Amino acid sequence: MKKYSYFPGCSLKGLGRAYEESFLAVCKALNIELKELEDWNCCGATAYMAIDEHHAVALATRDLALAEMNSTEDLLAPCAGCYLVLNKANKYLAKYPRIGGTVRQALAEEGLKYEGRIKVRHPLEVLLNDVGLEAIQQKIKSSLRGLKVAPYYGCQIVRPYAVFDDQYNPTSMDKLIEATGAKVVEFALKTKCCGGSLTGTLAKVGQEMCFNLLHEMKRRGAQVVATACPLCQFNLEVYQREIAARHKEDVRLPILYFTQLIGLALGLPKKALGLQRQIVAADRIPAECRAENPI
Amino acid sequence: MLRIEREIRYEAERDRSFADEIKKMPGCELMDRCIQCGTCSGACPVSIFMDYTPRKVIELTRSGFKQDVLKSTTIWLCASCYACTVECPKQIGITDVMYALKQKAIEEKVYPPRFPIPVLAREFFKMVRAKGRIAETKLAILLFLKTQFLKIFGMQRLGIDLLRTGRFSPFSLIFPESMKDPAKLTRLIDRLDAKLNSRELEARLESGNPSRPCCPGGAK
């Protein structure tokens, strides 16, 4: 049994709760034990950096301190935003003693201490390197053979701090998807930005970026998209109607989390994987696998 | 009416202290290395919507054209995708430069009224300070109420979709996602503010310029 600390972040308790549900279910099935940080706070996301870097680092460091004071395990952050921010805080603490000093003093007054030992990791890396493809393949109960999946990494897992994958052509998710039996659709935009919060602030700009992605995924024959970030998932899924109307093009594609696909292949019940939370339903997935592949 | 304005700036109009200030901020230290190659603008997925491309923003910033950069759409369009940062052949933290410029613009309030992106940053700041966590749907509704009120009526279908799939519950508007004890985080932020204020005061006294009061984002 492998053990980790777990930082869900706000999205996994909110709009992206299917990511948490499927992640927890997959971990359980693969014998991974997670311990959620006690009374964690928001990591600060991109918004806090736009206000003040000390505040941004302080928020993330409080979470790192909670992890360090309670265990020695690595900290898993499935949300791409949290993953980047927590890693960034680790870098800033080491690189900028002035910021680190102020932040640590404020934390100390609250009885918290962080020495910089916590390694922040993404589930993609853990499933690939700690669990391993072979161990996953051995537990596959219902292969997704025949299903064409576009793996979409987005920005913040691979840029700028990813240590476990290539920044230009990441393949960790590709390998995990192939382990489920599904076929990976090659497409060049797998790390191109979905627009992040622009879809909510400057909708036209954000949706234009989503259109480029959906158009390319569909053109390459994807039947479903795998994501590893709650904001990517949301952006690509919920604006499809508006995008289709604006561009007069069918962009309908179910947008799943990679953990949901792995869960399906492990034979976990759909409800445990949060599949009922899809706005663009992914009901046809198992049927599609069988139709494509009668064996 | 023909608008006639001077298109050329005199060197004396440049604000060099602004350039120096930005260059001291984290990630911005290497700005002087920029060779104006434009790799950042080419890598940027939003540059086609910007008034100044990232390359121009770097040059304008380090040359001290403060008002031009702080009023540009560029800094708000940056979605923090870090494509420029990893592509830059001189290792300049261009995304961090954008953060530094956003901070300055918010501090000096040089953006159009009700412009959604700085409003979002400030509402986000306030919600985390108060609750320790973000309730996304509540934040989105707040943002629309404060910036583009009428557009909220075009969002019903999305709202219904989110309700139907259980990704959002109206209950969470009254009892939003929160830390068990959010006061812990409010206290931490206030302690940090006190330290930053006293440090800034010291710095200002040293430089003999006791002008600007410090309150991050003017958010309180």
- DSSP character string of A94-154: HH-HHHHHHHHHHHHHTT----S-PPEE-HHHIIIIII-HHHHHHT-SS--TT-EEEEE--
| Mutation for testing the A interface, residue in B81, B92, B179, B199 having most A CBs under 10 Å | B81
The shortest C-alpha distance from A148 to chain B (Å) reads 25
What are the tokens at B62?
A: 């380090």
CATH code 1.10.1060.10 for B14-107: yes
The shortest C-alpha distance from A24 to chain B (Å) reads 17
Where in chain A are the domains? 2-121, 133-292
Query: Is A210 within 8 Å of A181 (Cβ atoms)?
Result: no
**Res A288: pLDDT:** 60
3-state SS, chain B, equals CCCCCCCCCCHHHCCHHHHHHHHCCCCCCCHHHCCCCCHHHHHCCCHHHCCCCHHHHHHHHHCCCHHHHHCCCHHHHCCCCCHHHHHCCCCCCHHHHHHHHHHHHHHCCCCCCCCHHHHHHHHHHHHHHHHCCCCHHHHHHHHHHHHCHHHHHHHHHHHHHHHHCCCCCCHHHHCCCCCCCCHHHHHHHHHHHHHHHHHHHHHHHHHCCCCCCCCHHHCC
Whether the link from the prior residue into A160 is cis, omega within 30° of 0, is yes
Closest residue in B to A47 (Cα–Cα): B121
Where in chain B are the domains? 14-107, 116-174
Between CA B135 and CA B84 the distance in angstroms is: 31
Q: Which of A11, A51, A54 lies at the smallest CB-CB distance from B121? A: A51
The shortest C-alpha distance from A181 to chain B (Å) reads 28
Q: Is the pLDDT of residue B217 over 50?
A: no
Residue-by-residue pLDDT tens, chain A, 295 positions: 899 999 999 999 999 999 999 999 999 999 999 999 999 999 999 999 999 999 999 999 999 999 999 999 999 999 999 999 999 999 999 999 999 999 999 999 999 999 999 999 999 999 999 999 999 999 999 999 999 999 999 999 999 987 899 999 999 999 999 999 999 999 999 999 999 999 999 999 999 999 999 999 999 999 999 999 999 999 999 999 999 999 999 999 999 999 999 999 999 999 999 999 999 998 777 666 655 544 3
Query: Is B65 within 8 Å of B55 (Cβ atoms)?
Result: no
Cross-chain Cβ contact A10/B177 below 8 Å = yes
Query: pTM of whole model > 0.90?
Result: yes
Q: Is the pLDDT of residue B47 over 80?
A: yes
Between CA A147 and CA A261 the distance in angstroms is: 10
How do residues B169-215 score in pLDDT, each as one tens digit?
A: 888 888 888 999 999 999 999 999 999 998 877 777 776 655 554 44
Cross-chain Cβ contact A103/B95 below 8 Å = no
- Identify all chain A residues contacting B195, using CB atoms and an 8 Å cutoff: 102, 105-106
Cross-chain Cβ contact B196/A13 below 8 Å = no
**Res B219: pLDDT:** 43
Closest residue in B to A15 (Cα–Cα): B167
Q: Which of A45, A47, A201 lies at the smallest CB-CB distance from B116? A: A201
**Res B177: pLDDT:** 87
Cross-chain Cβ contact A193/B83 below 8 Å = yes
Q: Is the pLDDT of residue B153 over 90?
A: no
Q: What is A133-292's CATH topology?
A: Rossmann fold (3.40.50)
Q: Which of B96, B133, B167 lies at the smallest CB-CB distance from A277? A: B167
Tell me, what amino acid is at A58? A
Residues 6+ apart with CB under 8 A from A199: A206, A207, A210, A235, A239
Closest residue in B to A167 (Cα–Cα): B86
- Identify all chain B residues contacting A201, using CB atoms and an 8 Å cutoff: 76, 116-117, 120, 143
Q: Is the pLDDT of residue B29 over 50?
A: yes
Q: Which of A210, A40, A159 is nearest to B131 (CA)?
A: A40
Query: Is A209 within 8 Å of A195 (Cβ atoms)?
Result: yes
A-to-B residue pairs, Cβ atoms closer than 8 angstroms: 179
The shortest C-alpha distance from B166 to chain A (Å) reads 6
Please state at what angle helix B156-164 crosses helix A230-238, rounded to 10 degrees: 120
Cross-chain Cβ contact A96/B26 below 8 Å = yes
Phi/psi region, residue B89 (left: phi>0; alpha: psi -120 to 50; beta: rest), is alpha
- Identify all chain B residues contacting A107, using CB atoms and an 8 Å cutoff: 188
Q: Which of A54, A159, A276 lies at the smallest CB-CB distance from B81? A: A159
Closest residue in A to B48 (Cα–Cα): A205
CATH code 1.10.540.10 for A2-121: no
Q: How many CA atoms lie within 13 A of A204 on its CB side?
A: 4
**Res A287: pLDDT:** 61
